[in-house]
Structure 1
Amino acid sequence: MTAEALRAQGFEVEVSIDAAARPAVEVEADRIDRQAERVAALEQKAERRSDRAEQAWKAEHRAVEALPPGGEPIKIGHHSEQRHRRAIDTAHRRLGQAVSAENDARQAQRRAESAAATTEARYSPVTVKNRIDKLHADQRADQRERDGHERTLFVLGDTKQVEKFPPAQGAYRELLESRIAEREDQISYWEAVRAQQIESGKATNYGPGTISKGDLVQWSGGWYPVVRVNKKSVTIPSIVGGSWTDTMPYHKLSGHKRRDEGAQTTAAGTVSEEIRS
């Protein structure tokens, strides 16, 4: 549209489109900056609405003070009747305006607080690890499409039926290559973020090599004994006290004690009552 408008005015316009993906570090930096600007704008809006609410309540108080003292009833037929009715209507109207302004101010404040927490939530350790796992899963799927793959439909005795998918070709292969390259950059960025979180102690990095059966692990403030150690998670007793077991991914664990440390903690009486055997 802009190019056409300029050409219509006699300008020579050359359009060049760069389809290359921007580096993830630039994309995330811009996202954080935009969110910070949005938070600032919402906080200013909340402040303005709070000021309006304060003024509305002051107007309501003045309207109430203008009413006859002591809850005096309307004197039907008296010369003050109309003035009294107008004063009551004004007080009611000012009250409604004040309540509405107060609700608007609270809503604006909630939006500002929610926006302020957006970046923090996006970079929470659990969210970052979940995002990395999702990126890796999507990457493997695209790589299979690009390189070709096969899947077993069924096995019946000595008969194995396999469906084969050839490597992608042409424009679709180019699209896959582009997505894979872009996603690889994203994976590198988020893995660097996670490495920094682990180094700073904001994120845990447990796994089969650090946790053993019988150890205690912490999740959501409670401590639970490890029933089984799995590749990507630990099995613990039911977190709601049932007879079954639950699995908890390693990256969601917030603490770990070896079996001997757990026994000492229990003896000292400092283990949460949420520990279940």
Structure 2
Amino acid sequence: MSFAEREAARVDAAEERAERYADRSGRAAASSQAARDTSDRIGERFWMGQPILVGHHSEGRARRDQERMHNAMRQSIAEGERAGYWASRAAAAEAYERYRKNPGRTLRRIEKLEAERRGVLRERDGVDDKGRTADVWRRPPSEARREELTRRLAEYDEELTYWAETIKEAERRGFKVWGRADFVKGDFVQWRGSWYEVTRVNAKTATVPHIHAAFDGGAVGAVGGCRVVTRAATAETRHKGSTYTLPYNEVSGRMSAEQMRAALAGEAIPADPRDITPEPAPTPGSLPPSPPA
């Protein structure tokens, strides 16, 4: 089976588990309600707090009914907890494909797979994926080991191709893959419910004020319910200019310095020229677009 076929089989298995768990949850919920009804029905004998009459001929039956009522209620609680357990398992199984193909998580998975692939390539050929010598003292692998490493490289390539297509599909649906070219010093990056001023743009990360400063007085305001943390504000906190690096594959938004100033002032946020897609230039010999009616 190819990796795509194995992944499809895993999704199908998750869907089957979701149906099976949902059925178990439904049966447990029905059992819980039946036990609750039994307890309530027995409890009608003690309506308005009818006490057990000690020494009366009804005492024995009343105590047996009381025990049956308590047992039924305990069973109802236990079955209710079991129903909740299977319901949560069903929800997790239903979310399997959405979890696996989450774009941010997929980008991190690709980065991890690429690092593992480089390690296999170094062991097989003694070079990295750019052809640079990794270790001149490394002994070449045996023929059998080399064949095994070649097979593993092919598997990595197949899986990476699959996840790359998953990211392309997410981009077609509007997901933004952030990278070094998208930021300049002074921009603001959104990460996990806060905005941070970018103090340095690195190859794979953006350097920002320390993330704990968002809760220690480094925030100068909020935009859309998200704290805005600036470098100047954090200099007055106990972090005193400490920084943190945010991977681009965990970024969820960007604002320019001008946009952030307008947002904090409650003014209309201007457009960022980087977000404006230029219209394609007409090809030679083509007719210009017709003016609007």
TM range (shorter): 0.7 to 0.9
Which residue among 32, 36, 47 is the counterpart of 1:53?
Answer: 32
2 CA distance for matches of 1:263 and 1:166? 58
Q: 1:268 to 1:75 in 2, by over 3 A?
A: closer
Q: What is the CA deviation profile of residues 70-111 of structure 1, one whole-angstrom value per residue up to 9, with x for unaligned ones?
A: 323332322111111111111111111111111111111111
Q: Work out whether residues 149 and 164 of structure 1, in 8 Å CA contact, stay in contact via their aligned partners in 2.
A: no
Deviation of the 1:163 alpha carbon: 6.0
The residue that corresponds to 1:196 in the other structure is 169
Which consecutive unaligned segments of at least 5 residues does structure 2 have?
A: 129-134, 214-238, 270-293
Q: Work out whether residues 11 and 96 of structure 2, in 8 Å CA contact, stay in contact via their aligned partners in 1.
A: no
Do residues 62 (structure 1) and 34 (structure 2) align? no
> Which is further off, 209-218 or 235-244?
235-244
The residue that corresponds to 1:245 in the other structure is 243
Normalised TM-score (structure 1): 0.80
Query: Secondary structure of 1:268's match?
Result: coil
1 CA distance for matches of 2:266 and 2:59? 78
1 CA distance for matches of 2:268 and 2:100? 34
> Which is further off, 76-85 or 226-235?
76-85
Do residues 94 (structure 1) and 72 (structure 2) align? yes
2 CA distance for matches of 1:220 and 1:231? 21
The residue that corresponds to 2:177 in the other structure is 205
Q: Work out whether residues 208 and 245 of structure 2, in 8 Å CA contact, stay in contact via their aligned partners in 1.
A: yes
Do residues 175 (structure 1) and 148 (structure 2) align? yes
The residue that corresponds to 2:287 in the other structure is none
Q: Work out whether residues 121 and 127 of structure 2, in 8 Å CA contact, stay in contact via their aligned partners in 1.
A: no
Letter in 2 for 1:54: Q
Deviation of the 1:146 alpha carbon: 0.7
The residue that corresponds to 1:17 in the other structure is none
2 CA distance for matches of 1:100 and 1:211? 54
Q: Work out whether residues 63 and 94 of structure 1, in 8 Å CA contact, stay in contact via their aligned partners in 2.
A: no
The residue that corresponds to 1:135 in the other structure is 113
1 CA distance for matches of 2:201 and 2:108? 20
Q: Work out whether residues 24 and 186 of structure 1, in 8 Å CA contact, stay in contact via their aligned partners in 2.
A: yes
Do residues 232 (structure 1) and 235 (structure 2) align? no
Taking the TM superposition and a 5 Å limit, the aligned residue runs for 1:8-27 are: 22-27=1-6
The residue that corresponds to 1:144 in the other structure is 122
Aligned residues: 237
Query: Secondary structure of 2:53's match?
Result: coil
Query: Secondary structure of 1:74's match?
Result: coil
Do residues 37 (structure 1) and 16 (structure 2) align? yes
Deviation of the 1:184 alpha carbon: 0.5
Deviation of the 1:149 alpha carbon: 5.2
Query: Secondary structure of 1:191's match?
Result: helix
Q: Work out whether residues 125 and 194 of structure 1, in 8 Å CA contact, stay in contact via their aligned partners in 2.
A: yes
Q: Work out whether residues 262 and 268 of structure 2, in 8 Å CA contact, stay in contact via their aligned partners in 1.
A: no
Query: Secondary structure of 1:85's match?
Result: helix
2 CA distance for matches of 1:177 and 1:227? 42
Normalised TM-score (structure 2): 0.76
Q: Work out whether residues 188 and 256 of structure 2, in 8 Å CA contact, stay in contact via their aligned partners in 1.
A: yes
Letter in 2 for 1:217: V
Letter in 1 for 2:2: P
Q: Work out whether residues 148 and 168 of structure 1, in 8 Å CA contact, stay in contact via their aligned partners in 2.
A: no
Q: 1:24 to 1:180 in 2, by over 3 A?
A: same
1 CA distance for matches of 2:267 and 2:41? 61
Q: Work out whether residues 14 and 93 of structure 2, in 8 Å CA contact, stay in contact via their aligned partners in 1.
A: yes
> Which is further off, 75-84 or 229-238?
75-84
1 CA distance for matches of 2:161 and 2:105? 16
2 CA distance for matches of 1:72 and 1:132? 68
Percent of residue pairs identical: 33
2 CA distance for matches of 1:25 and 1:256? 33
- Segments of 4+ moved more than 6 angstroms: none
Query: Secondary structure of 1:66's match?
Result: helix
